Structure 1
Amino acid sequence: MFVTNQMQTDFHEHYAATLAISLDRNILIETKEGEEEYRAALLTPNTYHRTVSPGVTMLALLIDPETYEYKEISDIAEKGKIKKLDIAQFELHIPKIWDMFNGILKEEEVWNLHLDLLQSVRPFQKFEITADDRIERIAHKIRTEIPDSIRMTEIGKDFAVSEDRLIRLFKEKKGIPLRRYLLWVRILEAAKLLKDGMNLTEAAHAAGFSDSAHFTRTFKENFGFVPSLFFGHLRSMDVFFCEPN
């Protein structure tokens, strides 16, 4: 999730859905069908578009379409389309978005803000993580053994569960598929290393990507931007990691 007043992109599409909210003037988004202005909008995954709104302060919340939360709100919008939303749904949260833009929102507040914004699209029951020691240990194993190659069949053997059962249990308990979780851990690890000053090639290898091109391609496929927008000497934003317990 980021807030910027420099949003101007070329035509692109990406795997993540996007909740876009303007804090002042309209956002101009163009698709193959033409241009339209929005104060708030939900862009579904793989929507071919470009945003041309330099000088407009706006928030973009990118949402993995395989998460529980997106599944709960996804049917309000047609696949490959942009759903116009009422800005009144989000007005309560705009002061906090401004605080985020100004860099004065604490990590826990940012985490809660992103959940509140999703609930403002359409209220849904909060995902409740049910305790399962095997799944928590598997998640810990993935986080701590990156960049080692982790095969699900091997994980299953370690925890006395079949691969099919493991895949079902992980999605049920964590709200995201195991393969997506593994990818996110790798992306997050590379991002942290980049922020700490490691170069792109070193960070990519350390996080288990085959090379810097593989990491850059994966990052762009998911978010629509190359990593240098957020990390390295070309970055145009400050980056903070929110890691709630």
Structure 2
Amino acid sequence: MTGNTLSRLYVGARHSLFVGATTASRHRHHAVQISVALAQPFRMRLEQGAWQEYRGVIIRPDAEHEFDSGGVAVANLFLDVESADYRVILQAQSAGGIEVGRSVAVPQELLQALRLFHAGESAMATAPELCTRIVEAFLGRTLARREIDPRVARVLELIGKEPAQKIRVERLANAVALSPSRLAHLFAEQVGVPIRRYRLWRAIREAIRLCLGGASLTEAAHATGFSDSAHFSNSFRDLFGMTPSLLLSQQAAVEILLGEA
């Protein structure tokens, strides 16, 4: 992903948002991608099809595609395939409400909010809300908000204290007096991704933070529980369609924002 002006990448607990000029040769990744044009339409080619123009589109997981925004900013939201957001999208698709690969119009209010985020005129705290609003724009309805259960909040706190450790679900469940199965269900329901996927996103965020602080990819990978730099790079590429080395080589052009739990 490259751009002539500063781009912004937000990495949160279960999705990420890249806003900037985007050019990508034929590739695939395991994350769900939702792309939104902030000004003029972008060009994309799915699988072996012809180039087409889009203003907003959902790209399904592992779908081969090429992308060219023509040097202007596009918002690219990446969702975990096991996320609650994607489950809602799949339900809407099965009901005929969303067609993957078809250009979708996006509300002007959301476009303006994304432009402000790209320009650095809105704080990082707005990024999680922007991610939700993009999903809602494609669904055509508001997603339900839930107050976090104190037991889930405690589990998030415990995971946060040991981000490099693979804490067993049984240990977490004991800490909040729940069965492992009940905790797994409650966590996925409230956080939006299973515990193991949440730990992966958190480990990736922490590894990026260490790299930004001067650590090598190998050092960051080992410190955050990955077996080696290749394991970290493969996990990163599955989520974002690019390698961490490529992203970090563009630090002068990309502002990286790391979200909290």
TM-score bin, normalised by smaller chain = 0.7 to 0.9
- Using the size of structure 2 for normalisation, the TM-score is 0.82
Residue 54 of structure 2 corresponds to 38
Identify the structure with bigger relative contact order (alpha carbons < 8 Å, sequence gap 6+). Answer: 2
Q: In the aligned structure 1, how far is the partner of 2:233 from the partner of 2:76?
A: 20
Residue 179 of structure 2 corresponds to 162
Residue 43 of structure 2 corresponds to 28
Within the candidate set 132, 143, 147, 2:164 is matched to: 147
Instruction: Pick closer, same or farther for the CA change 1:142–1:130 going to 2, 3 Å.
Output: closer
| Pairing 1:106–2:123 present | yes
Q: In the aligned structure 2, how far is the partner of 1:23 from the partner of 1:149?
A: 39
The within-5 A match list for 1:102-141 is 102-122=119-139, 123-131=141-149, 133-141=150-158
Q: In the aligned structure 2, how far is the partner of 1:234 from the partner of 1:173?
A: 33
Using the aligned pairs only, state the percent identity: 29
Kindly indicate whether the alpha-carbon contact (under 8 Å) linking 2:54 and 2:104 is maintained by their aligned counterparts in 1.
Answer: no
More deviation, 217-226/136-145 = 136-145
Q: Secondary structure at the match of 1:230?
A: helix
Q: Secondary structure at the match of 1:166?
A: helix
| Pairing 1:239–2:256 present | yes
Unmatched tracts of structure 2, length 5 or more: 1-16
Residue 14 of structure 1 corresponds to 29
| Pairing 1:196–2:213 present | yes
Q: In the aligned structure 2, how far is the partner of 1:162 from the partner of 1:72?
A: 27
Deviations 1:40-59 (A, max 9, x none): 11112222112133413211
- Using the size of structure 1 for normalisation, the TM-score is 0.86
Instruction: Pick closer, same or farther for the CA change 1:52–1:173 going to 2, 3 Å.
Output: closer
1:111, CA displacement in angstroms? 2.7
Unmatched tracts of structure 1, length 5 or more: none
Q: In the aligned structure 2, how far is the partner of 1:34 from the partner of 1:106?
A: 39
Paired positions, count:
239
Letter in 2 for 1:61: L
